[in-house]
Structure 1
Amino acid sequence: MKLYKKWTTITLSLTAFALFTVAAINYVIDPYGIYHFSGHSYNYNKIIDSDPYRSKAFQVKKYQPEAIVLGTSRAMRLNPPSIESLTGENAYNIGLSAATPYIDFKYLEYALKVDKNLKTVYLGLDFEVFEKNYSTHANYDEQRLTSFLYTQDLFATLLSESALKDSRKVVMDNLNNTTKYTEHRYLGDGSFDETLVYPPNTNESTLHVMPTSFQLSSDSMLYIEKMKELCEQNDLSLYIYISPVHAIILETFWQNNLWNEYEDWKRQLVDIAPVWDFSGYHEISMSSLKKEGNYNDLSHFSKKMGDLMLYRMLNKEIDSVPSYFGVYITSDNIEEHLNNLRVNREQWSERDKNMFEVVASY
């Protein structure tokens, strides 16, 4: 009996030691950028397809920012250091690929629960994710945002075999200066890393997924209203803006006969709250994708543009912002604004052309 107890104790001790060792390795290397997002030589690049839905939930709890950015991957171009330099508030970007207004609302609820310093919210809006049948991103896990301690994430990132394998891949890639398994898509502040090299034909691929039909989701509009109410109830400043999508994308809305829906979306938004509209046919949105640095790719504006948007919304360094860039729209001026957009479209020489042919050389 004593021998049995001895071997049981040894087995349990060795198991505990092995689990502790695995967890320690995965914590230090942090292959998914969750626990400390360090920039050491052995783990600067993270595993490809790391889940920002998971890592950003961890990071906002850890950093306790005074300002957060919500929205889709386009919102990741609002730069937290720029926010801090303009307002004095430390910021974190919770922009998430294909995030719907419902997902934004749940992450805002979560941020209010775990972040006692929160003062300001920047909410980016994109027409496409307001479609009634727009799919919820596969990585969204609501339990992560409602559980006090989500053990599934802890196990998956610290104790699983796949995490240990990913840690090994991260170390190999970083020490060998290769990118077979890794990339550096996100910075430690949650924003997009503009040094990322896009795959060939990224712009053409974007055109292929542009909507050809659209039915506005009343639920999505409701969650915009709920976010406004949540900010009011918690004395948070809220800046709502529409992204400056490229004219090529706007033209797909026009050519796919979605312009009426696009305009109605804006009408319904300003019935909820005033909005900063950076979209439209203007010099920036009509600029070259390859030359001028206004866009990272067809779908995403650059951080340079993100800074101009912050200047406009915060009324800072206004002399740096083109007069046409950023219109504060309300229920009082929405019709005039929409008419101006239709008129401005006539200025673009590429309108009515095949956008696949245009984007190839733009």
Structure 2
Amino acid sequence: MNSKKWIKILLILCVLGVGFISGVNYLVDPIGLNNKVLINNINTKKYSNTLMTTRFKANILGDGNFDTIMLGTSRIGVMNPNIVNKHLNSNAFNLEYPGSNTVIQNKFFKYANHFNDIKYLIYAIDFIAFNENITIKNNFHDFYKLEKEIDNFDEIDDFDLYFNIETFIKSVKIVIKNILNIQQTEVIYLSENGMRDYRNYIEENEKGTFKLDENIKKSISYSFSKNSITSYKSYKFSYEYLEYFKNTIDYCNRNNIKFFVYIPPMYSDAFDAINSVGQFDEFELFKKELVKITDYIDFTGHNKISENKNNYWDYGHLRVETTEQIMARIFNNKSIDLPENSGVLVTKENIDEHLENLRKQVKDYDLEKI
């Protein structure tokens, strides 16, 4: 056999090999990027897609079907867009980005509006989003890789992931784990609306194996006492990030997008822990600077929502059932009964009184105990 025939055979084998790998990756879909084919005991349980937030959500936004965006960190991620739809008669997409700063939120929101005619923005603005120690390059590798595409409003495809040996290895592993029934349920984003679905916690809770107190303590310990640049312990308020928040609000005003801003609730122990790590002054600074830009609803402090641990999965993530209460307060829907003192409208006129009231609520919290 001459060399030309060998080359042809090799090329054919390469094409078949690439086609096989990409086909398997697309059908098995180990991280739930397309969810086109679901077969029981083969690929129904997948790896979490939350490590590819940028790619996953950009793909959905590119279809241009939404008129409402829910923006912020993972704390708004657990809120159900369907509840928002009932209030606004809209089609809402949950554009949360876990742990994100206001730079990511600003860029991703503009990307969403480029492909969709956005009429409403529900913005859960989080204290952690203004921490200057949290940067795109160091802390958000998924966004960093695709930042130029986001800035240029390019459509993002998944071809590089399907034609990928690493993805193929994941495909093989996920099929084996499904067949052996050893793949654990993992938190995922819902492909239809972007919501963060804690199906792993829900499953454990239904079985009676979910350890709520332990989960709350672990999450507080990680975020408040861990000696890392992203912890509350080393927090430093960024005026640069404040400008990105202001730019988002200005962008809404210029484009006739009605916005609702709120600070999401955290479990009351975490509110006290902010003071325990010496960051309550920064917490107040964040709120003082925010109100110079816009009014907002503040759910932090000690109130009926924050003190009820059964509203939470950990110190910062509410259970989806609380969406109704949170959104009723944001949209001022008085037909729904709300817990007393939950969600204070903060304006330039009452900011000082509000902060004084919150100061009085702070209780001693010993991080060493956890």
TM-score range, shorter chain: 0.7 to 0.9
Distance 1:40 1:187, change over 3 A: farther
* Alpha-carbon distance between aligned partners in 2 of 1:318 and 1:251, rounded to the nearest angstrom: 32
Aligned residues of 2:346 and 2:354 also touching (Cα < 8 A): yes
Aligned with 1:134: secondary structure?
Answer: coil
Quote how far apart the aligned CAs of 1:121 are.
1.6
Does the aligned pair in 2 maintain the 1:204–1:356 contact within 8 Å? no
1:186 to 184, 189, 212: 189
In structure 2, how many angstroms separate the alpha carbons of the residues matched to 1:187 and 1:149? 20
Equivalent position of 1:342 in the other structure: 359
Deviates further, 26-35 or 160-169? 26-35
- Residue by residue over 1:63-99, the C-alpha shift from the partner in whole angstroms, topping out at 9 and shown as x without a partner, is 6322121111111111112122332212221211111
Distance 1:217 1:286 in 2: 29
| Aligned counterpart for 1:207 among listed residues 220, 241, 260 | 220
Q: Does 1:279 align with 2:303?
A: no
- Matched residue, 2:84: 83
* Alpha-carbon distance between aligned partners in 2 of 1:138 and 1:23, rounded to the nearest angstrom: 24
Deviation at 1:218, TM superposition (A): 0.4
For residue 27 of structure 2, what is the amino acid of its counterpart?
Answer: V
d(CA) in 1 for partners of 2:187 and 2:271? 30
The answer for the alignment partner of 2:250 in structure 1 is 229
Shift of 1:21: 2.8
Q: List runs of 5+ in structure 1 lacking aligned partners.
A: 346-350
CA contact (8 A) 2:58 2:156 kept: no
Distance 2:356 2:335 in 1: 25
In the TM superposition, 1:1-362 aligns within 5 A as 8-36=7-35, 40-41=39-40, 42-48=42-48, 50-62=51-63, 64-113=65-114, 115-136=115-136, 137-141=140-144, 142-146=147-151, 148=154, 150=156, 153-155=158-160, 157-179=161-183, 183-188=186-191, 189-197=193-201, 201-208=214-221, 209-210=223-224, 211-287=232-308, 289=309, 293-316=310-333, 318-345=335-362, 351-355=363-367, 357=369
Match of 1:348 in 2: none
For residues 258 and 196 of structure 1, do their structure 2 counterparts lie closer, same or farther at Cα, with a shift above 3 Å needed?
A: same
CA deviation after TM superposition for structure 1 residue 234, in Å: 2.1
How far apart are the structure 1 equivalents of 2:187 and 2:236?
Answer: 36
Give the drift of 1:225: 0.5
SS of 2:262's equivalent in the other structure is: strand
Does the residue aligned with 2:259 lie in a helix, a strand or coil? strand
Code of the aligned partner of 1:133: N
Letter in 2 for 1:354: D
C-alpha change, 1:3 and 1:232, in structure 2 (3 Å) is farther
Letter in 2 for 1:185: I
Cα 1:149–1:67 shift into 2, 3 Å: closer
Confirm or deny: 8 A CA contact 1:35 1:59 kept in the other structure: no
% identical aligned pairs: 25
Secondary structure of the residue aligned to 2:84 is: helix
* Distance (whole Å) between structure 2 residues aligned to residue 172 and residue 144 of structure 1: 35
Q: TM-score w.r.t. structure 2 length?
A: 0.84
Return the offset for 1:322. 2.0
- Aligned residue-pair number: 344
**In structure 1, what residue type is equivalent to 2:17?**
A
TM-score, normalised with respect to structure 1: 0.85
- Residue deviations 1:3-51, cap 9 Å, x none? 6655544543443333233222222222222234766534333214642
When structure 1 is superposed on structure 2, of 88-97 and 138-147 the one drifting more is: 138-147
CA contact (8 A) 1:143 1:150 kept: no
What are structure 2's unaligned runs of at least 5 residues?
A: 205-209, 225-231
CA distance 1:27–1:242, change in 2 (3 Å): same
- Residues in 1 aligned to 2:198 and 2:275: alpha-carbon distance in whole angstroms: 30
Deviation at 1:266, TM superposition (A): 0.5
Measured at CA, do residues 353 and 224 of structure 1 come closer, stay the same or move farther in structure 2, by a change above 3 Å?
Answer: closer
CA RMSD of aligned residues (A): 2.6
Q: In the alignment, is the contact (CA less than 8 A) between 1:45 and 1:184 conserved in 2?
A: no
Contact 2:273–2:365, Cα closer than 8 Å, also in 1: no
Cα displacement string for residues 238-280 of structure 1 (whole angstroms, at most 9, x for unaligned residues): 1111010111111111122222221121010010111111111
